[in-house]
Amino acid sequence: LEEAISSIGASSDWIDVEKVKNQLEQTAASLTSAQLSLQQYVREDMQQETVLSQVTIPLHEELRAISQTTMTIEPKQVFSVLDFFKKQGLGISKEAMTLFASALYEAIIPTNFEIVERHTSAVLPNGVKAGFEAAVEQNKKDFIFFNPNDRAYTFEWKMEGDRMQVTLIGPPFIYQYALKTDPIEYYDP
């Protein structure tokens, strides 16, 4: 069983193998088919909320108008940057929304969150790292992602001086996601 768990990339240190074994035996005894999510068998000590990623961007002055400082993405929930700003009742420029969306994008890259919609610009906006842009424009371009997990995750943002820090907090992921970036290449227009 431990070998099977390891073969799908999950660490047997994270999984309560005895619980999985008991569930498999119960299912096999009843001769029914069932789907089994390893998430429900993660040991309690591995479910403590922690900082998963942190991104710092230049603060666009329009972003100071955001009234809330946290946002929870519930299990199986879709998040849209345009909907977020609409619910805030804010009319914000595409530059400010793009900076905000790009910070969220960079924060979720090392996770299993699924990108539903993402756009880029012809020219990289100031303050956005190459490869991490998520362009947003009212009624045209949105940044949308999906939390496929059975657990909620929270974004927190703090504005200090001319910087904005975006932090993703939640239980660690069973799988490790490594980000690899290649050197930037420049092309003549």
Segment 39-90, tens digit of pLDDT: 676 777 777 888 999 999 998 998 888 888 899 999 999 999 999 999 988 8
Q: How confident is the model at residue 170 (pLDDT cuts 50, 70, 90)?
A: very high
Between residues 157 and 21, the one the model is more confident about: 157
β-pair partners for 158? 165
Q: How confident is the model at residue 156 (pLDDT cuts 50, 70, 90)?
A: very high
Q: In this model, does residue 173 exceed pLDDT 70?
A: yes
Q: Are 157 and 167 in contact (CB under 8 A)?
A: yes
Question: Collapsing DSSP states into helix, strand and coil, what is residue 154?
Answer: strand
Task: List, for residues 124-142, the tens digit of each pLDDT value.
Answer: 888 898 889 999 999 899 9
Distances (CA, A) of 164 to 21, 56, 155, 156: 46, 6, 13, 10
Q: DSSP for 40-86? A: GGB-GGG---EEEEEEEEEPPGGGGG---SEEEE-TT-EEEHHHHHH
Q: How confident is the model at residue 169 (pLDDT cuts 50, 70, 90)?
A: very high
Nearest Cα residue to 90 out of 146, 32, 138: 138
**Alpha carbons 31 and 25: distance in angstroms, whole number:** 10
**Strands, E assignment, the chain:** 50-58, 70-73, 78-80, 114-117, 144-146, 153-160, 163-170
Residue boundaries of the structural domains of the chain:
2-46, 50-170
Ranges 84-98, 121-135, 144-158, 171-185: which has the least confidence: 171-185
pLDDT at position 124 is 85
Ranges 22-26, 31-35, 83-87: which has the least confidence: 31-35
- Ranked by mean pLDDT, the top range of 6-15, 150-159, 170-179 is 150-159
